[in-house]
Chain A
Amino acid sequence: MRTHWLGVALASSLVALGLAACGSDASSGGSGGITISIWNGYTQTEAKAFAHLVSVYNKAHPGTTVSSLYVNNDNTLQKVLTAVRGGSPPDIAYLYGSWAPNVAQIPQVVNLTKVVQGPGVSWPDFWVGERDVATVNGKVIGIPALVDNLAVVYNKTLFAQAGLKPPSPDWTWQQFVADAAKLTNPAKKQFGTAYVTPGTEDTVWHWEALLWEAGGQILKPGNKQAAFDSPAGLQALTTLRDMAITDHSMYLDPTDNAYTNVFNSGKIGMLVTGPWDLSVFPNVHYGVQVMPSFPGTSGGHQTISGPDNWVIFNNGATHVSAAEKFLLWLTAPAQVKYFSLATGDLPTRRSVETAPGFLQQMNKSLPGVDTFITNLGNVRQARPQTPTYPKVSQILGNMIVSVLLGKSQPQAALAGAAQQVNQALASTNG
């Protein structure tokens, strides 16, 4: 009896091994065509829209099959680096723009500088922030896949309840702080605003927006010295600190996860966030406004953007040219327009933004996104495109979190962080 059971088990495991052994290998294309793999992190509506585009392209180009593989964007770097070191990179991968300065050092990354100057591509049609992030040391290493920016999403109902006027396009940080204080109600566990405090780049880039609005800079030209320990930096940091420590109007989220649901539950008055969050606020009557400004500075209502890139890896000349062909088609105005309308993502091309009726159509399916789109005009610069930026980011992250938690004073924190950054940048030999 036992033997019989074991026999069945062994037989089934052999069958299983057999199945496993002839696992399908999708990298060999059908009937002589080539297959190019494209790794991306699209989910939900983005995934559907992307799949549609891919199938349209595949049908129109019988010699090529584009094969899409889902990888969560946060995990893509590990997977890509392992594949690169193992000699099997994908043909195309979606990579965060913040990785660009380092990704550019991978030998297999294809230099697209000539390709994007080609006929019909119209490289300047992409927003300047995107082009800055796709270019490292004069070399274009990617084609923009996504663009976004930070603006203020506010709860209209809470504003009305507090008897406050909603933010106007020329509002200042002073008004933001005052509004946040008035919107805070400890009895109802309601906060005027929120800030994420894991200490990662998400913590940092929110503050960098304020730094730029205050007229400051992150690093001095040359990217070897800190420039943020300036009056502008102090003003930016003190503004946040006042809300967190003095007014207690700031909900601190160390997990970078809960704050959207808290806002959606009607417990936060204003959020500095991006267009990707609009679809997770179904329960809130929200409005969108540009970033406030610091009066008397050159910063204006400038904002920060976090574009991402499609990067091509060299798997041989045929694969590279097929990948380039697909990417240029994917990022052509017609497809960009389709994708934006289908998903609510901001258009990566200016010509698409100015197309008649586009803004209204976008706003109909995703209210408030038109402000984010026009806000793209407020993106004037990008974060330092240097491979050492991750180190700078960690130091700045700790600085901001320690001030928000009340562990240090802004002036001292800035000075300490600047010293650490200068040390870190000096000790790097390329």
Chain B
Amino acid sequence: MTAPAALLRRRRTESAPARAGRRRPAASEQFAGWAFVTPGALIILVFGAVPIVWSAVMSFQRNNLLTGNTPYVGLRNYRAMVHDPVVAQAVQHTLVYTALFVPGAMIAGLFLAVAMNRKIRFISLYRTAAYATMAISTISEAVVFIWLFDPSYGVVNYFLSLLGIPQQQFLNSPSQALYVIVIMTIWGWTGFSVVIYLAALQGVPQMLLDAAAVDGAGPWTTFRRVTLPLLSPASLFLAVWLTINALQLFDEVYLSTQGGPLNATTVLVYYVYEQAFINFNFGYASAIAYFLFLIILVVTAVQFRAGRRFTHYRS
């Protein structure tokens, strides 16, 4: 007699916060929340947040990493940054690169993930091939793409010549080099998108797809109306993650063009490295890194905001 009533009461209080959204969570929930989060957060804060604060401090110093003499110079590094033409170029290159890379990697990954989300023969091999592109060392990736895009001996120019297109300079051309890097990195990251989308596709209940088919929806409409919205959390994740990584592009530039030709592939992190370890200007490098940090922070916040409107969490 009392049991169902008690159950009913409990049910109401349990779901009330979910509906009202404003009720303060119970103390036990607060405690559980912090208890769950602390071990992981502690590690990340110690090894991630502390260095970030440290770097912020360094950005206000003149620091060449050689001596311990690091006087505070206030905003001088930041002012120098504003007047540095290479910083403006680096910002432009970084943003252009990101704008091309992120959608490219997501779309390629989505397409392949949908293709690989079925039980046909050899499917394990196809999926492993996608994963393998992430496993390959960057130096191997760089060597192969440098060869593919070599103006004289490369395969791409060979195919272009078959189509009657004259020899392109690719990595030798300030106007084309960045796009070659875009292609190289989309290749390298497609596997990542595939893996993420594959995991997310498992959350799309077959029931819903069948129901859509019953309602007469074609495959493309089903995909657009049912699958894509259900994939939106994964899409948000990918968009945020790929963007954060794209804005910090370094390895491929370091291993192929070293920021050239004529700074055409100098992106912000490469410039940070150059200032820190070639020009021994570590304070300045920290300031640039901080500027990049702000850019990434703003872009990510915007993505989360937009994501809140477009992502569909099934709860």
Contacts and interface: CB of A to CB of B under 8 A. Distances in A.
Asked if A and B form a direct contact in the complex, defined as CB atoms under 8 angstroms apart, the reply is yes
Interface of A: 77-78, 81, 84-85, 102-103, 105-107, 189, 191, 197-200, 251-252, 254-258, 262, 267, 387, 390-391, 394, 397-398, 401-402, 405, 407
Contact of A390 (B262, B263, B279): B279
Given A102-B64, A257-B146, A387-B280, A197 B259 contact: no
B146 A398 contact: no
A196 to B, nearest CB: 10
B262 A407 contact: yes
Contact of B66 (A102, A200, A256, A391): A102
Given A102-B280, A401-B262, A258 B64 contact: no
Given A102-B280, A387-B280, 19 more contacts: A85-B65, A102-B64, A102-B66, A105-B66, A106-B67, A107-B67, A198-B258, A199-B259, A252-B172, A255-B171, A255-B256, A267-B153, A390-B279, A390-B280, A394-B274, A394-B279, A402-B262, A405-B172, A407-B262
B152 A405 contact: no
B67 A199 contact: no
A387 B68 CA distance: 17
A189 B68 CA distance: 54
Q: Is the interface of A mostly helix, strand, loop or mixed?
A: mixed
13 contacts: A78-B277, A81-B65, A84-B65, A198-B257, A198-B258, A199-B260, A200-B260, A254-B256, A255-B146, A257-B143, A258-B150, A390-B279, A394-B278
A77 B66 contact: no
B111 interface: no
Contacts of A85: 65
Contacts of B279: 390-391, 394
Contacts of A256: 258
B261 interface: yes
Interface in B144-160: 146-147, 150, 152-153
B229 interface: no
A254 B152 contact: no
A381 B314 CA distance: 73
A405 B172 CA distance: 8
B194 interface: no
A251 B152 contact: yes
Contacts of A200: 258, 260
A189 B152 contact: yes
A232 to B, nearest CB: 24
B289 interface: no
Contact of A398 (B142, B256, B263, B274): B263
Contacts of B259: 198-199
Contacts of A102: 64, 66, 280
Nearest to B257: A254
Given A102-B64, A106-B66, A405-B172, A254 B280 contact: no
Contacts of A107: 67-68
B1 to A, nearest CB: 38
Interface residues of B, number: 30
A405 B66 contact: no
Contacts of B177: 254
Nearest to A82: B65
A85 B69 CA distance: 11
Contacts of A199: 258-263
Contacts of A402: 262
B103 interface: no
Contact of B153 (A254, A262, A405): A262
A254 B66 contact: no
Nearest to A201: B278
Contacts of B67: 105-107
Nearest to B145: A255
A197 B174 CA distance: 12
Nearest to B273: A78
Contacts of B143: 257
Contact of A103 (B66, B68, B172, B260): B66
The 3 closest A-B pairs by CB, nearest first: A199-B260, A198-B258, A105-B66
A310 B126 CA distance: 50
B156 to A, nearest CB: 15
B287 to A, nearest CB: 17
B66 A197 contact: no
A254 B174 contact: no
A106 B256 CA distance: 31
B46 to A, nearest CB: 16
A252 B279 CA distance: 26
A398 B264 CA distance: 11
A254 B261 contact: yes
